[in-house]
Amino acid sequence: MDGLGRPERPAAVARGGLRPAPDEAREPGGAGTGAGRRRAHTAVKAVDVSCGTLVVDAGGRLLLGHVTHTPRWDIPKGLQDPGETLLDAAMRELFEETGLAFPAAAFRELGRFDYRRDKVLHLFRVDVGETLPDLAHLACTSMFPHHATGRPTPEMDAFRWATRDEVAALCWPRMAAKLLAIGW
């Protein structure tokens, strides 16, 4: 320890022969200012997996839910919980966001898709044929606090069928591009 209670620096560092480790640097934007720790943390952090279900009717239309307080629509999907299988997460999210429940055997795995730098999609498909002509009974029980009141607000507040031609105008651009690239 030096006279101020700090650990002694090796002689080579004191002479300027070695630089401090990146996490000790105090240069703007460098490690030690937080930026390096974020970069290092991001490098080892696994990406989030959002599991979703494409519910498709006999006409080839896709079930979409209206994202509350936005002009956009989305498929039922959400983050996989620790210890949860991909299928279990997709089934849970479908139930929470629509009230729909199907047996595991009804889900056909479509696979994993790059989505954002920090998130991938793992999608399944359920074909419902003509069994869901009316969507009035669907209800979202997955809530978030309203931005102004703090009251619990459903993530989705309406449901509709959409054709491939309608997806680009209804969904967020990144989601629309992903959905249109998938053969459903």
Which token pair is 174? Answer: 């990144």
Phi-psi region of 111 (alpha: psi -120 to 50; beta: other; left: phi over 0): left
Other CB atoms within a 10 A radius of the CB of residue 8 amount to 9
Residues of the chain with pLDDT under 50: 1-42
Q: For residue 12, with 0-12 CB atoms within 10 Å meaning exposed, 13-18 middle and 19 or more buried, which class applies?
A: exposed
Structure tokens that stand for 143 in this block:
């809530």
Q: DSSP label at 107? A: -
Measured between alpha carbons, how far is 172 from 174 in angstroms, rounded to an integer?
Answer: 6
Q: What stretch(es) of the chain map to CATH 3.90.79.10?
A: 48-181
Residues 6 or more apart in contact with residue 77 via CB below 8 angstroms: 50, 51, 52, 53, 90, 93, 97, 121, 123
Nearest to 37 by CA among 20, 21, 19, 23: 23
Span 48-181: which CATH code? Answer: 3.90.79.10
pLDDT at 134: 93
Say what the pLDDT of residue 15 is. 38
Q: How much is the pLDDT for 138?
A: 97
Amino acid at 125: R
Task: Quickly count: other Cβ atoms within 10 Å of residue 177's Cβ.
Answer: 13
What is the model's pLDDT at position 38?
Answer: 43
Of 73, 88, 93, 50, which Cα lies nearest the Cα of 156? Answer: 73
Cα separation, 61 vs 125, whole angstroms: 12
